[in-house]
Amino acid sequence: MSAKVFGSGIRRREDPRLITGTAAYTDDLVLPGMVHAVILRSPHAHARIARIDTTRAKQAAGVLAVYTAADTEASLKPMPCAWLLPNAELKIAAYPQLAKDVVRYVGDCVAVVVAEDRYQAQDALELIEVDYEALPVVVDPQKATAASAPQLHADVPGNQAFHWTVAGGDVEAAFAKAEVVVKDRIIQQRLIPTAMETRAALAKWVPATGELTLWNTTQNPHIVRFLTSLVTGVPEDKLRVVAPEVGGGFGSKIAAFPGEFLAIFCSMKLGRPVKWTETRSENYQATTHGRDHVQEVELAATRDGKILGLRCSVWAGMGAYLSTAAPGIPTILHGLMLSGPYSVPALKEDVFGVYTNTTPVEAYRGAGRPEATFMLERMLDKLSDALKIDPAEIRRRNLLPPFEDGCNVVTGLTYDSGNYQRALDKALEHISYKELRAEQARQREQKRYLGIGVCTYVEICGLGPSQVAGAIGFQGGLWESAIVRFHPSGKVNVFIGASPHGQGEETTFAQIVSSELGVDVNDVKVIHGDTESTPMGWGTYGSRTTAVGGAALATAVRKIKDKAKVLAAHLLEAASEDIEYDEGRFFVKGTPSRAKTIQDIALMANLAWNLPAGMEAGLEATSFYDPPNFVYPFGAHVAVVEVDGETGNVELKRYVAVDDCGPQINPMIVEGQVHGGVVQGVGQALWEGAVYDENGQLVTGSLLDYAIPRADTLPDIDVLSTVTKSPHHPLGVKGIGEAGTIASTAAVYNAVVDALEPFGVDNLTMPLTPERVWRAMQNATQK
């Protein structure tokens, strides 16, 4: 069976515990003597704190303590920003866990109450008296750069957190010789990640030993330990971070958050375990958001539709403070992907990171790449309109030709491998593109508005070479690690530094071991999420766990195989070079009956009764894998929508996704990732959008107002693939976690604009609510 394990859609071993409700999340954990922390949050988007009086709260039933900035500032260093963009005039404003003199967004932390139970803490919270003096508010990133705009931080003039530029080729010359120029102003609206599990932390400080344990819902426990040590001063060797079951992250559980540090602070002050779990309302107000760009973009092209150059300016709302990895999202992960899968001879982009009176922004599934893909795919559709060339054809004319081992693009990146045309052809063929266009024409005659949207994309993931990480200011490495340990019985434990939280690597990583060494997949257990048992690693985000962690695992497994071969040769009294391997058996070349199974070898290695001279006992290998390059998955998506001509309601009728993530370890899991990703991108196009009013109040503060996708409003998604190996990954695999999200927003948006072609509509604001679409039709009808 082993040879077939790689590539087999076996069921996820994670699912039984998840779907039967037996999995334990941070909030499920109960420790003896545990008490509860609740955070008082600012109701104002921008205000001076004139007075805080905690007297009454401290006297309330069950209350152990109430702390404000005056208590915490001496013990906790400010919130860290860990992506220090070079050459970008980066200005990191002080980000305290508890606001000191000024609150800067609705949800900013002001005080923390600790009580015996959660209800008492909540009751006491209402007894804290705070006098606020309201300050002027700005929520729009472009407006925040105006000279007259309210200033958030005294040391950040013009609210400009950074100004980052990417340029390649001669963009001025490209526009000078352009035969056609198309432009757009795009609002990449702010999104709320809405992980099913809200954020939570449980901190246990043991004064007698000076040891701190933090159970935390995070995508990267090792980074949390690293940052927690910096902020609290607890040394890393005495600091254990555990990510128990984590109920989704989508980027919102990468960053360090004040809540964790406050739980730690309280536990260290009180000597009792302190749990903090945010409510959904807090999650919406104060867990990081995503996107929030204002983009002004123009594309230069020839009359026959060949791209000459791209020029754009982006105002990226960063929120009131810079979250941990935030500066890298609208820059490195966005700007460097601006040429997409196309041949773009010249481009220039200016990105202005801007502080606004809103929740801090961070990575959100796709993180920078959807914002790049959308921009480019809009430009191609505009070009298609301007030149009356079919959208599929205009892409075909610009796609890079196939390459297997490296393609340098204008932004300075080297894509690893790609065959973009093949993916596009497959998507178009599957959906019967020509027939669909004919059907669209027929329906238009009956005043029914079918729309077809095409998106081709390439994305950067598998972050990434650590040398590059350093060069782009990421304050960490980006390698991954794995330990493979064979027990005497031949059963295997794998310990990884990455921290999957729903993606399924407990299953796929067992498949890697099984297919490489011939052990039964059920004899491999994958352990992750505890800094005390797993080797250092940088976490699960940016579609990197299989792309980097999987490579670390493959490398470790191959070390085991090398050692096993030497031991087999010794036991079989043969030369190592005469030992061959097949499906879990090591045998002497030409005499397959003279063989040792991997289980035999695991036993003999662990017993160590008869090892070759110099060989260490045990069968265990560790690998730290630093990838030589990023990986670049790609694909083509096609969406079909119907717009209700009376109401403006958009119905997504069909969706075809062709994605290429290289060889698939488990196609069922790939399909699941594509499904989830596509749906989140469709959510941005049609339903989702965080709205602040002019006073900085989050109007979409709950699931009553913020619409996330639901199964009953989605069609079946046709998931197809092509397979193009990464030339540098030991297994040839890329990443698939974000691909769907990167492509689907543009595909659906383009489909809606295409449906509205009879009305002359070429620009809409997302989400494409019925009213917005209806108004666009009304305006056009009245013209």
Partner 1 sequence: MYAPSFDYYRAGSVGEAQKLMQQHPGAKMLAGGHSLIPLLKLRLTAPPALIDIGRIPELKGITASNGTIRVGALTTHAELASSPAVKSGSPMVAEAAAQIGDAQVRNCGTIGGNVAHADPASDLPTVLLALEARFTAIGPNGERTIAAADFFQGMMTTALGQDELLTAVEVAAKKSGEGTAYVKFVHPASRYAVIGVAAVVAVKDGACSAARVAIGGLLPAAARARAVESALVGARPSTDTIAKAAALVSKDLGADVLGDIFASAEYRRAMAAVFVKRALTIAFTRAA
Under the rule (CB under 8 A), what is the footprint of partner 1?
Answer: 118-119, 122-123, 126, 279-281, 646-647, 686-687, 691, 699-700, 703-708, 710, 713, 769-771, 774-775
* Nearest-approach distance from CB 759 to partner 1, in angstroms: 16
> Please, is 133 exposed, middle or buried when counting C-beta atoms within 10 Å of its C-beta (0-12, 13-18, 19+)?
exposed
* Nearest-approach distance from CB 678 to partner 1, in angstroms: 17
Strand ranges across the sheet with 449-458: 449-458, 634-643, 650-660, 717-721
* Nearest-approach distance from CB 390 to partner 1, in angstroms: 32
Which CB, 36 or 163, lies closer to partner 1?
Answer: 36
Cα–Cα distance for residue pair 251/543, rounded to 1 Å = 11
* Nearest-approach distance from CB 707 to partner 1, in angstroms: 4
* Nearest-approach distance from CB 122 to partner 1, in angstroms: 4
* Nearest-approach distance from CB 545 to partner 1, in angstroms: 31
Residue 205: its H or E element? strand 200-206
Which CB, 140 or 671, lies closer to partner 1?
Answer: 140
Which CB, 114 or 568, lies closer to partner 1?
Answer: 114
Look at residue 455 and give its three-state secondary structure. Answer: strand
Q: Which two structure tokens, joined as six digits, stand for 551?
A: 């490579």
Dihedral angle sign, alpha carbons of residues 742, 161, 77, 283? negative
* Nearest-approach distance from CB 311 to partner 1, in angstroms: 33
Look at residue 175 and give its three-state secondary structure. Answer: helix
* Nearest-approach distance from CB 354 to partner 1, in angstroms: 23
Cα–Cα distance for residue pair 493/721, rounded to 1 Å = 32
Strand ranges across the sheet with 585-588: 579-582, 585-588, 591-597
Residue type, 25: Y
> Please, is 570 exposed, middle or buried when counting C-beta atoms within 10 Å of its C-beta (0-12, 13-18, 19+)?
buried
Which CB, 405 or 646, lies closer to partner 1?
Answer: 646
According to the 3-state scheme, what is the secondary structure of 300-364? EECCCCCEEEEEEEEEEEEECCCCCCHHHCCCHHHHCCCCCCECCCCEEEEEEEEECCCCCECCC
Cα–Cα distance for residue pair 599/517, rounded to 1 Å = 10
Which CB, 125 or 665, lies closer to partner 1?
Answer: 125
Cα–Cα distance for residue pair 596/585, rounded to 1 Å = 6
Q: Which two structure tokens, joined as six digits, stand for 453?
A: 């949207």
* Nearest-approach distance from CB 244 to partner 1, in angstroms: 21
Residue type, 242: V
Which CB, 41 or 596, lies closer to partner 1?
Answer: 41
How does DSSP assign 403-418, residue by residue? BSS-EE-TTS-EE--B
Residues in the chain: 783
Which CB, 436 or 714, lies closer to partner 1?
Answer: 714
Which CB, 552 or 773, lies closer to partner 1?
Answer: 773
Which CB, 183 or 280, lies closer to partner 1?
Answer: 280
* Nearest-approach distance from CB 708 to partner 1, in angstroms: 7
Which CB, 493 or 697, lies closer to partner 1?
Answer: 697
* Nearest-approach distance from CB 79 to partner 1, in angstroms: 25
Cα–Cα distance for residue pair 144/139, rounded to 1 Å = 7
Q: Residue for token digits 């081709």?
A: 456
Which CB, 187 or 611, lies closer to partner 1?
Answer: 187
Short-list 216, 184, 219, 146, CA closest to 367: 219
